[in-house]
Amino acid sequence: MPFKKLKKGISKHQLLLFITVVVLTGGVLVGITVLLLQIYGNIPEDEPRSDPKLLYNASIYNNEKENGGVEGTIFIYSSFPLSSPKNISFHVSIDLSKHPDVSTMIDVTMMACFTDNLHSFEQNLEQGMDAYNSTNKICLENIDRKIYPFMLPSTFVPENYGAVSIIATNGISSLSLGNLIYAKQSQKSIYPNLTTELEQTTELYKISGSIEINGRVKRKSTGKIIDIPEITFHDIKMSPQPPNLFLYLTTRSAWMRFGENDIFIQMDTDESDPDFPQGSFSRTGTFTMDWPFEGSVNIIDFIDGYWYLWCETFTVTLAGGPITIVK
């Protein structure tokens, strides 16, 4: 069980917390041994608490496989004093199955840092920048020596963070040994939320729907953490389907033929369908795709821009609209 005391013996004081309740029922003596939650870690011992409720658990991704790194699982629980159910506290258990022995290293500490943007946090570590300047992070020191579960500070709310970085630091330089994302929806991207309502330009082709952009902090198949825009096409309707329709992103407001400074968005199309050229805009409904220009085109440069659907056959824009920031 992850919700247990690790690598420590039980003291005489803790043994007192084993309460034997003797119940006499029908002449039968029944002994019930109860282990109070308070024996664990730094959880207060002044009053009984509820059973722990598991909120999140996630495996640690090892960043330093060749040099050791860390492996294990992190569990986040909630509990409350029985006398005050609304006074919820959060606890963490860090079960490390593999980690470096930092006790042999001078002034080196293992820490677990909860952060609301894992990509930015670890990128700052790699670049030697101060990752601790984040206004929304909490770090626990000496995680390899703590008794778990450990009660987190009263200001801690799991949904305010969403990710954890396991680092080794001597106070001057730091190295990420592993990380995990336990709540993707809680990670705050550096990219703003953007939306565009599509407006048709002709009654011959009825086109409606919206294009939304939201930043996502996530892990690629390679294990790398990225912060990248995700494009959502919401409730796209086209009647009839225009021929040779293509999607462009531009900073120009005029309805005109597109040039080399405009961005062509290549869509996923069915190559077996001869009616729709490769990369054309032919899909309806609601669907998503990752930003196809990671590292080369920054959507922030188009915050005041426009989306347009351009018909190559008729050399005209059939729908489009301005990009606006969602507050």
The answer to whether 64 touches 75, Cβ cutoff 8 Å, is no
Look at residue 114 and tell me whether its pLDDT is greater than 90.
yes
Which region among 20-34, 86-100, 214-228, 309-323 has the lowest average model confidence (pLDDT)? 20-34
Which region among 69-78, 103-112, 133-142 has the lowest average model confidence (pLDDT)? 133-142
Residues making up the chain, counted from first to last:
327
Q: Mean of the pLDDT values across residues 79-96?
A: 95
SS3 9: coil
Which pLDDT score is estimated for 268?
84
Q: Mean of the pLDDT values across residues 137-158?
A: 94
Report residue 229 as tokens. Answer: 């825009």
Which pLDDT score is estimated for 37?
33
Report how far residue 175's alpha carbon sits from residue 62's, in angstroms, rounded to the nearest whole number: 12
- Residue 39's CB is within 10 A of a number of other CB atoms, namely 18
Averaged pLDDT score across all residues of the chain: 83
Which pLDDT score is estimated for 199?
96
CA torsion, ordered 226, 95, 155, 162, to nearest 10 deg: 20
Confidence band of 260 (pLDDT split at 50, 70, 90) = confident
Q: Mean of the pLDDT values across residues 38-61?
A: 80
Cα-to-chain-centroid distance, residue 15:
40
Any idea what the Cα angle at residue 199 is, between residues 194 and 201, rounded to 5°? 145
Confidence band of 272 (pLDDT split at 50, 70, 90) = low
Look at residue 172 and tell me whether its pLDDT is greater than 90.
no
User: Number of helices and strands (H, E) in the chain?
Assistant: 2, 21
Report how far residue 324's alpha carbon sits from residue 160's, in angstroms, rounded to the nearest whole number: 26
pLDDT tens readout for residues 228-259: 999 999 999 999 999 999 999 999 887 666 66
Which pLDDT score is estimated for 121?
94
Q: Is the N-terminal amide bond of 2 cis, ω within 30° of 0?
A: no
The answer to whether 59 touches 51, Cβ cutoff 8 Å, is no
Q: Mean of the pLDDT values across residues 151-167?
A: 95
The answer to whether 302 touches 242, Cβ cutoff 8 Å, is no
Which pLDDT score is estimated for 323?
97
**Burial of 281 from C-beta contacts in 10 A (0-12 / 13-18 / 19+):** buried
Look at residue 21 and tell me whether its pLDDT is greater than 80.
no
